[in-house]
Structure 1
């Protein structure tokens, strides 16, 4: 391990095996996985239909480049456009690349430079998406940032009205800020952003990298508010762990990405598309999405009830199976103890415990996870801060 850059703060756990919601570490210890690769393994680990699709494609062809016709991409693009307000799709390898494409699209299409994002947002770690991210800790140490990104307070309609004008290329936001603390936008704020984009000819970009692909109980989280963004970006849950990202755009943007304007060597490979199609075929079924909503409501209700008497727990927030337990103290040490008890969770900012179970999680597994959380947090509530 000594040859790796130390840019990750890794836990003292190495996962070597996984199936469904359960994983095992290198010592044979089993865990309930409520991290799922940070909202990636939406169908759990090694979902059989996705694994079969990848195995079948492995025996055909792995990579050919985007210079050739791509019926495998067309099938996945159709699933994405049929289940969103978009009309065309660009495939890449990650959420950061999808957001990078969206930023380039907005600037090229509008011939403007200014893009409005929000405090505590997270859009990626390429240089442009880092600059789009409204968190100082992400910017620190990298010198002069790209110009024309403006960070406004989240859910502040007056701030967005004051900043908006004909020099704005786009408003870019997350319906729920995952990395920033599981902060949900209110519907009035979202509709105001959409209205102002339409008024001033800017593009409305919604980053669904973490919230998309069924995570909140709909195909995409923006659909809860009845929005119709110009661009949707997605990645994490799209390939069940196989690297793939996508930018989905409306028809009026089609000619902005003409041949040669943007590309990706590995974007939309046959293997990635096999994984994505098998994933979407399952998640985008109405009954499946309804089950996500029901399990999300159940988990949230159980957390609120079971953690109600723990003094430092202040709120349970989020939607579907993207939930955060808001605490009034830093949760790092608590996370480590929760892991020891056999439940994998992560943070969303210093004081929020983030839960991202597979969308296939059972009610029994939810109950087990809630009990572990209750026991561990109850223990910590009795200790001096």
Structure 2
């Protein structure tokens, strides 16, 4: 009895403990203090963080020194509904207080309901299935293994997989084999074999590469990490026709482009084709880690059988509740319409700014090029001015803000950008 009472009392005390009391027991409060502690306690794989962020609300975040920023990166296309969305946080809290984790020996209503919802949103045919992961790279790892199981209907094993130059599919070993950037790949070779990278957007190169030795073709409808490069019109349709002809899978990586990022549930919707599989993550959980592999039709869905893949945390009740809440909010708050309106406003205005040479993208996944190699300096100047943006290349800026970004908020960045760009150039 006493042990039970003590445990209950302890839980009640923790329940009322502010998060700040748990994380800052050493009296350090400034960003510089936190960064000094970061350098002695975390691996340096990300370099030095640009800021120490402590709070967010909607499209705004604040750092440890109290400075406010308009978040135009959204955690790299993750925070679809911005920060601390009240409905999503309430659903996560409620689910965690009810049932948090059950392992893959069991399922939960939220897991089943989310799978059904994703199949509905993607117009998946009968026999389609979902496998949940914790991230985009894990979803692509699952898709890689799916490809390894495809024989194209013959008894001969296929090991060749086609990906594109400029592709980014993740950093775990299978996903890294699909990723094209040499700087990411070289330190970890040999990588899983069989992956061939062909020129981006070149249909003739695709025709030459896709034959009966190919297990799968992996494509991003828009290459985000390469600077927001959309595939040219007709490319996805050509890929679908070529892969279907030889029995290869067409797998679309929509980790960055899916869940409303381009104003549609999938960026590939307008292509008029159905792939064999799609991978999702980033915006799916509205900030909570979750990914998914969706397989379309019986043939593809049966390639991985019991025991051939798995995950401990993937699809747990809290993650799937977060995703359900995110999807519900996107639908009920007409977020996709906002993505179209604000995205068009940003792209049109950016194209008219002196020093901007090209604007690409769809919805609120936008890349734009500059007339000088100052993109990293623009990121720094932007932070000083109160804006968070990203530079995937020396002349390229990427925007992937929360899908709830308002037109007025976008206009504040547009008004400030000429001065930010000039500051970056002056600093060179």
Q: TM-score, normalised by structure 2?
A: 0.86
User: Are the counterparts in 1 of residues 377 and 424 from structure 2 also a CA contact under 8 Å?
Assistant: no
Structure 2 unmatched ranges of 5 or more: 1-37, 152-156
Query: Which of the numbers 95, 101, 104 marks the counterpart of 1:66?
Result: 104
| Aligned match of 2:416 | 372
Displaced runs of 4 or more, over 3 A: 284-287, 378-381
Query: What is the alpha-carbon distance in structure 2 between the residues aligned to residue 352 and residue 224 of structure 1?
Result: 26
Q: Does 1:117 align with 2:163?
A: yes
User: Are the counterparts in 1 of residues 228 and 398 from structure 2 also a CA contact under 8 Å?
Assistant: yes
Higher mean C-alpha displacement, 16-25 vs 281-290: 281-290
Query: What is the alpha-carbon distance in structure 2 between the residues aligned to residue 279 and residue 114 of structure 1?
Result: 37
Once the 2 structures are TM-superposed, how far is the Cα of residue 304 of structure 1 from its aligned partner?
A: 1.2
> After the TM superposition, which residues 97-116 of structure 1 pair with which residues of structure 2 at under 5 Å, given as runs?
97-110=138-151, 111-116=157-162
Query: What is the alpha-carbon distance in structure 2 between the residues aligned to residue 29 and residue 221 of structure 1?
Result: 35
Once the 2 structures are TM-superposed, how far is the Cα of residue 190 of structure 1 from its aligned partner?
A: 1.6
| Aligned match of 1:246 | 292
Query: What is the alpha-carbon distance in structure 1 between the residues aligned to residue 123 and residue 218 of structure 2?
Result: 16
Once the 2 structures are TM-superposed, how far is the Cα of residue 349 of structure 1 from its aligned partner?
A: 2.5
Root-mean-square deviation over aligned CA pairs: 1.5
| Aligned match of 1:130 | 176
> After the TM superposition, which residues 252-291 of structure 1 pair with which residues of structure 2 at under 5 Å, given as runs?
252-284=299-331, 287-291=334-338
| Aligned match of 2:264 | 218
Structure 1 unmatched ranges of 5 or more: none
Query: What is the alpha-carbon distance in structure 2 between the residues aligned to residue 353 and residue 76 of structure 1?
Result: 34
Query: Which of the numbers 323, 334, 339 marks the counterpart of 2:366?
Result: 323
Measured at CA, do residues 172 and 58 of structure 1 come closer, stay the same or move farther in structure 2, by a change above 3 Å? same
Query: What is the alpha-carbon distance in structure 2 between the residues aligned to residue 114 and residue 101 of structure 1?
Result: 16
Measured at CA, do residues 10 and 346 of structure 1 come closer, stay the same or move farther in structure 2, by a change above 3 Å? farther
Secondary structure of the residue that 1:256 maps to in structure 2? coil
User: Are the counterparts in 2 of residues 85 and 250 from structure 1 also a CA contact under 8 Å?
Assistant: no
Query: What is the alpha-carbon distance in structure 1 between the residues aligned to residue 427 and residue 54 of structure 2?
Result: 36
Q: Does 1:90 align with 2:128?
A: no
Secondary structure of the residue that 2:162 maps to in structure 1? strand
Secondary structure of the residue that 1:140 maps to in structure 2? helix
When Rg is computed on C-alpha atoms for both structures, the one with the higher figure is: 2
Higher mean C-alpha displacement, 35-44 vs 5-14: 5-14
**What whole-Å deviation, never above 9, does each CA across 1:49-84 have from its counterpart, x for those lacking one?**
110100111211111111113322111111111111
Query: What is the alpha-carbon distance in structure 2 between the residues aligned to residue 118 and residue 286 of structure 1?
Result: 36
| Aligned match of 2:64 | 26
Secondary structure of the residue that 1:109 maps to in structure 2? coil
